[in-house]
Amino acid sequence: MKQNKAEDFNSSHKSSCSDANDGFDKKYRKGLLVFRQERNLARQGTMRLRSVGGLLLLLVFIAAQVSVGNEKQQTAGGMEPITETIRAQGITEEGMLSVIPLMKENMQQLGAPSCFGLDTDLSITGDYIVQYRSKNATNELATLKDMTFIQPTDDPVQMIRLSFHEADVFILAPQYRDCHGIEIYAFAVNQGTGHAVQLQFQDESLISNTSYYRPGSIPLVKNNRLVLESTEGPGGEGSPNYKPIRLYQLDLENAVMILAN
């Protein structure tokens, strides 16, 4: 009787152990499967991360190459990019004329409309130098003290380029409007040598760094002479020496525009 009970106990114990082992094996296999799945997902995530990282590195490399290319393009011809404020400019095939402030400019709106400009136009005053910058050198042509620009915006004023036989002449008009006459300065760049100079205006016995043209007209070249229309009104039309059109001959050697009519 005791022997039968012992055998029953052993049989029951073995069955329980077998069931327990089977349960453990199932849990182990399931856990192992989950572990392998998670490991595969982790590997895939790592591969994706590496791919994204590689793509980012490629984009950074391309951006760096583009930046270097732009810098090379800006410095083509041996000219470094200009970073200072440019109040006015004139561009040739070989270089650029620039009007550059010597110190901080005084800038404010006109505030009221007049023959000088609109109420929203800007009055910009300062001391300036005029430079001609080419791939070979930078030359200072003139100093313009206490000059006032009146313009619709603070963008660089574009000089008027006029072609003569010997040189390109650039007309600078600091103010785009005026009540009687628009004051101008002139600069010449020799087409052969690239040498730049400021021009003076000679009206009979009077020599000046400036001249003018009538508002509503524009300077132009005709028969290799500079054509400027004169101002009508007091001091102009009706005076004995009044000339509705003034013609100037370029004397490049002496850096002067000579009245020729």
DSSP string, 31-91: HHHHHHHHHHHHHHHHHHHHHHHHHHHHHHHHHHHHHHHHHHHHTGGGPPPP-S--SEEEE
Domain of residue 24 covers: 1-74
* 132 plus 224 within the same structural domain: yes
User: Do β-strands 88-91 and 157-158 pair in parallel, antiparallel, or remain unpaired?
Assistant: parallel
Q: What is the pLDDT of residue 66?
A: 42
CA distance 116 to 135: 38
Nearest to 249 by CA among 258, 238, 237: 258
Which has more pLDDT, 213 or 73? 213
Last residue of a domain, one of 74, 96, 120: 74
Instruction: Classify burial at 55, counting beta carbons within 10 Å of its beta carbon; exposed 0-12, middle 13-18, buried 19 or more.
Output: exposed
Whether the pLDDT of residue 19 is over 60: the answer is no
Backbone dihedral angles phi then psi of residue 158, each to the nearest 5 degrees: -90, 120
Q: Which residues pair with 29 in a beta bridge?
A: none
> pTM for this structure?
0.67
* 15 plus 91 within the same structural domain: no
* 167 plus 224 within the same structural domain: yes
* 216 plus 112 within the same structural domain: yes
Nearest to 235 by CA among 191, 179, 177: 179
Q: What is the pLDDT of residue 57?
A: 53
* 141 plus 45 within the same structural domain: no
Encoded amino acid at 136, one letter:
N
Whether the pLDDT of residue 110 is over 70: the answer is yes
CA distance 239 to 24: 121
Q: What is the pLDDT of residue 94?
A: 86
22-58 pLDDT, tens digit per residue, is 554 555 455 545 545 555 554 555 445 455 455 555 4
* 198 plus 250 within the same structural domain: yes
Q: Model confidence at 135, in pLDDT bands (50, 70, 90)? A: confident
* 43 plus 126 within the same structural domain: no
* 117 plus 242 within the same structural domain: yes
* 22 plus 103 within the same structural domain: no
- Mean pLDDT score of the chain, rounded to an integer? 79
249-259 pLDDT, tens digit per residue, is 999 999 999 99
* 21 plus 68 within the same structural domain: yes
Q: What is the percent of the chain where pLDDT is above 70?
A: 65
Residue keyed to tokens 């990019």: 81
* 2 plus 107 within the same structural domain: no
CA distance 29 to 33: 6
Last residue of a domain, one of 47, 74, 101: 74
Residues 6+ apart with CB under 8 A from 182: 173, 175, 176, 212, 213, 214, 215
Q: Model confidence at 209, in pLDDT bands (50, 70, 90)? A: very high
219-246 pLDDT, tens digit per residue, is 999 999 999 999 876 555 556 678 899 9
* 64 plus 85 within the same structural domain: no
Contact, 109 vs 122, CB < 8 A?
Answer: yes
Last residue of a domain, one of 74, 93, 112: 74
Residues 6+ apart with CB under 8 A from 113: 119
Q: How many domains does the chain have?
A: 2
Residue keyed to tokens 């083509």: 76
CA distance 130 to 236: 31
CA distance 9 to 97: 111
